[in-house]
Amino acid sequence: MAVPDSLVNRLYGGPRYNGTLLFYTDVRQFLTSQSRVLNLGAGPATESPIRTLKGEVAEVIGADVDACVLANPELDRAVMIENGRIPIEDNAFDVIVSDYVFEHVADPVQFLGEAARVLKPGGSLFFRTPNFLHYVAIVSAVTPHRIHGLLANVVRANPTGSQEPWRTHYRMNTVGRLRRLGRKAGLGELTVKHIEMEPSYLRFSTPAFLIGTAYERLVNSTPLLAPVRANLFGRFVKTAG
């Protein structure tokens, strides 16, 4: 039985549990009207005002390996990533945003290297991605990709014809791995927040949702359990000079 909205609102009402708002509030602190922004892995339109930066900054360019990005109206311009390369000049962007993309990257060294190349010295790369030490990521990692598509429609209540989930690799989804890969790519300082919010992926079942809520309350009760929270919200700063 699907979880009633009244229960979700009672347990998770208000901005405190809005992870998207939290992430993009952090991003917007580093933006000005003159900023050039790269949405790396932009994909199709999000239809979310919180996630749409177009009109707030000088330019938002989206880049993706999927041609769906070319029809995304939330971008000023879109480009295709081909053979791992972003067709943009060096040192072009003040800020890069990569929202739930890292888990899909098959070659993290090339991916972060390209991000570092197009980011200005001192610029920031913001990312939001699952934490591999969380139970959802672990289950996803050991589940065949063909099952993901079947489960996505049930868990997310997707209508027929919805975008199929992209393949996941989880090759840059722990803090230690991110630090090592970032140094190799020329990205210096890394700060990370471990975030656990509403278990929306369990809304297909009230009992499952309540178990997920109990887990959320537990891991948010003490910093000692932060390493097993669901998401990593992070910021790389490209080394200046």
**Dist. CA 191–CA 206, nearest whole Å:** 35
pLDDT (tens digit, 9 = 90+) per residue, 198-209?
998 888 889 999
pLDDT (tens digit, 9 = 90+) per residue, 24-47?
999 999 999 999 999 999 999 999
Spatial CB neighbours of 120, under 8 Å, sequence gap ≥ 6: 91, 92, 93, 94, 238
Domain count, the chain: 1
pLDDT (tens digit, 9 = 90+) per residue, 66-78?
999 999 999 999 9
Query: How much is the mean pLDDT over the chain?
Result: 91
Domain hosting 206: range is 5-238
pLDDT score, position 145: 60
Residue ranges in the chain modelled with pLDDT below 50: 158
Q: What is the DSSP string of 104-163?
A: G-S-HHHHHHHHHHHEEEEEEEEEEEE-TTSHHHHHHHTS-HHHHHHHHHHHTTPPTTPP
Q: Specify the CATH number for the domain of residue 56.
A: 3.40.50.150
Question: What is the value of pTM for the model shown?
Answer: 0.91
